Amino acid sequence: MRVTPLLAAALLLPTVSTSHADVAAGKARAQVACAVCHGIQGLSTQANVPSLAGQPKIYLVEQLRNYRSGKRHHEVMSVIAKPLSDEDIQNVTDWYASLVVSVEEK
């Protein structure tokens, strides 16, 4: 069997399972835990808070896991992420990643 460079690269990438993700549950959870700072639709209006809408799922999962484990620290996010289960993280990140953001020039 011959492994192509593209296949080899894909096998080395960290995977994020979406097989059990529930976008509706993610949206509901985000409305309770995330919306105050990150906005109802994941678009923050605060200068020091990032927008989450349309961010890549793999990035969001990694950051939430880092906050939850203590690898990354933030006064608020560390507390918010601590009780999240793996399923919560999958659901919330699936919802944010499913949002489409468009950009217009003025």
Kindly tell me if the per-residue pLDDT of 25 is higher than 60.
yes
- Angle in degrees, CA 52, 64, 44, rounded to 5: 25
Number of domains in the chain: 1
Give this prediction's pTM: 0.77
First to last CA, the chain: 53
Does residue 3 form part of some domain? no
Classify burial at 7, counting beta carbons within 10 Å of its beta carbon; exposed 0-12, middle 13-18, buried 19 or more.
exposed
Does residue 33 form part of some domain? yes
Does residue 9 form part of some domain? no
- For residue 71, what is the domain's CATH number? 1.10.760.10
Residue 70 tokens, joined: 């203590």
Does residue 76 form part of some domain? yes
**Averaged pLDDT, 6-25:** 56
Tell me the chain's radius of gyration from C-alpha atoms.
Answer: 16
- Angle in degrees, CA 85, 90, 40, rounded to 5: 100
Does residue 72 form part of some domain? yes
Domain around 66 = 20-98
The tens digit of pLDDT for each residue in 27-80 reads 999 999 999 999 999 999 999 999 999 999 999 999 999 999 999 999 999 999
* Other CB atoms within 10 Å distance of the CB of residue 19: 5
Does residue 86 form part of some domain? yes
Kindly tell me if the per-residue pLDDT of 13 is higher than 50.
no
